[in-house]
Amino acid sequence: MNSFVQITHEFAQSVEPSTELNFQSLLFENDFKAVFPELFLVLASLFLLIYGVVWTTSASTGYPLLLRNVNWLALLTLLLTAMIAANSPIGHGVFFYHTFLLDDVTFFFKMLVVVGALSSLLISLDYLERESVNGFEFALLLLLSTSSMLFLISAADFISMYLAIELQSLCFYVLAAFKRDSEFSTEAGLKYFLLGVFSSGLLLFGCSLIYGFTGVIEFSELSKVFASLASSGEVYSDKVDLVQASQAFGASLEGSPLQPPSAGGGDGHLAGGGSLVSTSSWRGCELGMIFLLIGFLFKLTAVPFHMWAPDVYEGAPTAVTAFFSITPKPALLVVFARLLYQSFYDFMIEWQTFLIFCSVASMVLGSFAGLAQHRIKRLLAYSSIGHVGYLLISFCCGTLEGLQGLAIYLVIYIVVTVNIFAVVMTPLRRASHSAQQQQGVERIKYTTDLAMLAKNNPLLAATLTVSVFSLAGIPPLAGFYGKAFLFWAALSSSQYLLALVGILTSAISCFYYIRIVKIMYFEAPQNWLSFSRLSKESSLVLALTTFFVVALMAYPYPLYVASHKVALALSM
Amino acid sequence: MVEYLAIFIYFLIATGLAIILLGVSFLASTRKPDPEKISAYECGFDPFDDARSRFDVQFYLVAILFIIFDLEVTFLFPWALVLNRVGLFGFWSMMAFLLILTIGFVYEWRKGALDWS
């Protein structure tokens, strides 16, 4: 009531002439330049939405499907986004009241995400047409989730992080259930939705705990609060006033609309009777951090929280599975790395223990459960769980090499995943029954469907062999360098257990990777299948990715330099 | 905050009054139920078939649309109150938000989600 009176009062006064500059309109003058790629991506997808819906419902043109058309426009949008991001006028900085930040890390991972989305759409063009996934909305959901991943990469506080994750997940739930007439797809969407929402809830609870105990949501401010706590002596016994610490650093956020409320609330607390005992708030922050970790590990499908992944990967349309396994990992991992290395570096002992457990468990489960799989998408799901385990090694190192290993491994993993999914989405033609000769819409379900691929399509078999060997980490291929770098980083930071388990499990997982090769080259098929023609786009992507996998050993320096730059920027 | 007390008391009184009104008719009326009286009213006929029927997805769509635009209104309230403080920047921010929602609305319209024929 009071505020209302005050507002009406001010409204009466506010008729003064505004000769002075209105600072609020100038406030974001330069900030929009920083989010130009995201802005373009969002606006273009909104434009495409209108374009698509107007034309697909227009009776005069006979309700065209616009599938290929919108997909190509989406590809163009992604390409332009990548070009805009590459030519961004602003390279570093914090924008929108500490909401977004830009540095070398965000640039690297944004390019990775955009190129990943681009290639995953490129390889699924043909698939989408063949499977008659006829909604033009597919490409739009893909674009919107890509834009949210870009926002996620440059998130600088809990709110923007959570909102970006939610926008991304919301698009993913719809994408997983995109084929409405398929029970598997619907089931995948529902499972993904329930578990995704649950993990988001955990994530949000972690954020709110940390905010409640510190009164700070920005990653950089959190690091200051925790550092001051840690440096002020024995954290577990001494009475360090966390509220005061946060207040001191909160004062540096001048003009921020998100002023930590601890200034008022904390004082009340102090007056109410005694200061906040630091042990409890330290413990509280630890608890919040554990919830955050669990939420992230759910999203990353690390092992104790992986149960949804195989079903979702199996049930969702293959184009969606490809998109799920290619694009979101870098975005999630980079913000995870930023949280761990920037905000929670002082909690390193705690999260390191937690992550070592998850990493070992993921590697072990990924390698052993993969042995029992005969369905190719499920196999790839378990394989990706195993690779998440390898990626988590890099966090446990806590060193520059670890972060560098993360970037290198991610790039290689994404390239190889693109390659494998390009093959998996190739249409099959069943040749055994002459009556069903024309039925050319079979897709690969089982690994045995690949039998005699070496005879039917030797080049494709060779490509798949190369990429599967690369996943397994066979020496002259790119995957080997990624794994070797990670294991070296683990060894140099004395994580002998991780390196040992990593090497052992990658030897075990070689078994099922090599089994695919064996099936392709040496196994007589039960029912004869032959691959039909690859689309031009897929073959182009296949050629490029295979070239990358084979040729990385000859010239790895750009990747090493770029990843080192990323690691340096991330650890600062 | 204190004005909520009055609303709470009002709520209690309204509930009590409703109970009293129901109770009076419950106590004062004559009740002689028989099978014909308590059977379901289907325009005088016996029910033709199972009462279960396919659920029309239109209702669901309308409910979803209501939730979306209800949220929109929730965002509009604080904006409308402080419009003279947030200035042109606040105004245009909300216009951007409304534009995005309008694009969603155009999408629904063209898709026929509002079509009840």
Is the torsion defined by CA of A21, A25, A31, A32 positive or negative?
Answer: negative
Of the listed ranges A299-303, A415-419, B42-46, the least confidently predicted one is: B42-46
At A295, list the tokens: 């939420």
User: Per-residue pLDDT for A231 more than 80?
Assistant: no
Whether B88 maps to a domain, the answer reads yes
User: Per-residue pLDDT for B73 more than 80?
Assistant: yes
- pLDDT bracket for residue A319 (50, 70, 90): very high
**Helices and strands in chain A, H and E counts:** 25, 4
Asked if A1 lies within 8 A of B89 by C-beta distance, the reply is no
Distance, C-alpha A192 to centroid of its chain = 15
For residues A395 and B48, the model is more confident at: A395
pLDDT tens digits along A53-69: 999 988 888 888 888 89
Interval A227-256 mean pLDDT: 52
| Sequential DSSP letters for A186-226 | HHHHHHHHHHHHHHHHHHHHHHHHHHHHHS--BHHHHHHHH
Predicted pLDDT at A273? 36
Predicted pLDDT at A441? 53
**CB contact residues (below 8 A), chain B span 66-85, against chain A:** 81-82, 84-85
Of the candidates B85, B100, B110, which has its C-beta nearest A53's C-beta? Answer: B110
What is the average pLDDT score of chain B?
A: 89
- The answer to whether A27 contacts chain B (CB < 8 Å) is yes
Q: How far apart are CA A12 and CA A104, in angstroms?
A: 49
Predicted pLDDT at A232? 62
Which of B107, B114, B115 is the best substitution to test chain A (most A C-beta atoms within 10 A)? B107
Whether B33 maps to a domain, the answer reads yes
- pLDDT bracket for residue A45 (50, 70, 90): very high
Asked if B87 lies within 8 A of A24 by C-beta distance, the reply is yes
* CB neighbourhood size of B105 (10 A): 17
Of the candidates A25, A50, A53, which has its C-beta nearest B87's C-beta? Answer: A25
Alpha carbon distances (Å) from A483 to A367, A371, A435, A494: 15, 20, 48, 16
Predicted pLDDT at A274? 37
Of the candidates B3, B82, B110, which has its C-beta nearest A7's C-beta? Answer: B82
What share of chain A has pLDDT > 70, as a percent? 84
At A8, list the tokens: 């009406």
At A311, list the tokens: 């079903």
Interval A31-42 mean pLDDT: 89
Q: Is the ipTM of this complex over 0.90?
A: no
CA distance to partner chain B, nearest, from residue A54 (Å): 7
Contacts of A137 (CB under 8 A, 6+ apart): A49, A52
CA distance to partner chain B, nearest, from residue A49 (Å): 7
Contacts of A271 (CB under 8 A, 6+ apart): none
Identity of residue A136: F
Q: How far apart are CA A431 and CA A529, in angstroms?
A: 6
Whether B19 maps to a domain, the answer reads yes
For residues B87 and A419, the model is more confident at: A419
CA distance to partner chain A, nearest, from residue B65 (Å): 17
Asked if B84 lies within 8 A of A27 by C-beta distance, the reply is no
pLDDT tens digits along A383-433: 999 999 999 999 888 888 899 999 999 999 999 999 999 988 887 766 555
Whether B52 maps to a domain, the answer reads yes
For residues A31 and A162, the model is more confident at: A162
Of the candidates B3, B81, B107, which has its C-beta nearest A53's C-beta? Answer: B107
| Closest by CA position to A328, among listed A122, A155, A147, A471 | A147
At A448, list the tokens: 């045995």
Split into its structural domains, chain B has a count of 1
Asked if B110 lies within 8 A of A57 by C-beta distance, the reply is yes
For residues A266 and A370, the model is more confident at: A370
CATH number at residue B105: 1.20.58.1610
Predicted pLDDT at A21? 52
Q: Is residue A531 within a helix (H) or strand (E), and if so which, with residue range?
A: strand A529-531
Predicted pLDDT at A296? 93
Per the CB < 8 A criterion, the answer to whether A397 and A491 are in contact is: no
Predicted pLDDT at B113? 84
Whether B117 maps to a domain, the answer reads no
Q: How far apart are CA A489 and CA A402, in angstroms?
A: 5
Q: How far apart are CA A464 and CA A495, in angstroms?
A: 33
**CB contact residues (below 8 A), chain B span 36-55, against chain A:** none
For residues A329 and A11, the model is more confident at: A329
Q: How far apart are CA A539 and CA A460, in angstroms?
A: 9
**CB contact residues (below 8 A), chain A span 48-77, against chain B:** 49-50, 53-54, 57
- The answer to whether B95 contacts chain A (CB < 8 Å) is no
Whether B116 maps to a domain, the answer reads no
Of the candidates A14, A25, A54, which has its C-beta nearest B89's C-beta? Answer: A25
Q: Is residue A95 within a helix (H) or strand (E), and if so which, with residue range?
A: strand A93-95
Predicted pLDDT at A240? 46
pLDDT tens digits along A107-152: 999 999 999 999 999 999 988 888 878 888 999 999 999 999 999 9
In this complex, how many residue pairs, one in chain A and one in chain B, have their CB atoms less than 8 Å apart? 38
Predicted pLDDT at A455? 83
Predicted pLDDT at A90? 80
Cα atoms in the Cβ-side hemisphere of radius 13 Å centred on A212? 15
User: Per-residue pLDDT for B99 more than 90?
Assistant: yes
- pLDDT bracket for residue B29 (50, 70, 90): confident
Of the candidates B89, B103, B110, which has its C-beta nearest A24's C-beta? Answer: B89
Interval A477-502 mean pLDDT: 92
What share of chain A has pLDDT > 90, as a percent? 49
Q: How far apart are CA B6 and CA A396, in angstroms?
A: 58
What is the average pLDDT score of chain A?
A: 83
Q: Is residue A428 within a helix (H) or strand (E), and if so which, with residue range?
A: strand A428-430
DSSP conformation class of A345: G
Asked if A7 lies within 8 A of B85 by C-beta distance, the reply is yes
Interval A179-204 mean pLDDT: 92
Which residue matches tokens 């938000």? B97
| Sequential DSSP letters for A305-328 | G-THHHHHHHHS-HHHHHHHHHSH
What share of chain B has pLDDT > 70, as a percent? 100
Q: How far apart are CA A323 and CA A328, in angstroms?
A: 8
Identity of residue A36: F
For residues A46 and A270, the model is more confident at: A46
For residues A165 and A528, the model is more confident at: A165
Q: Which domain holds residue B62?
A: 2-111
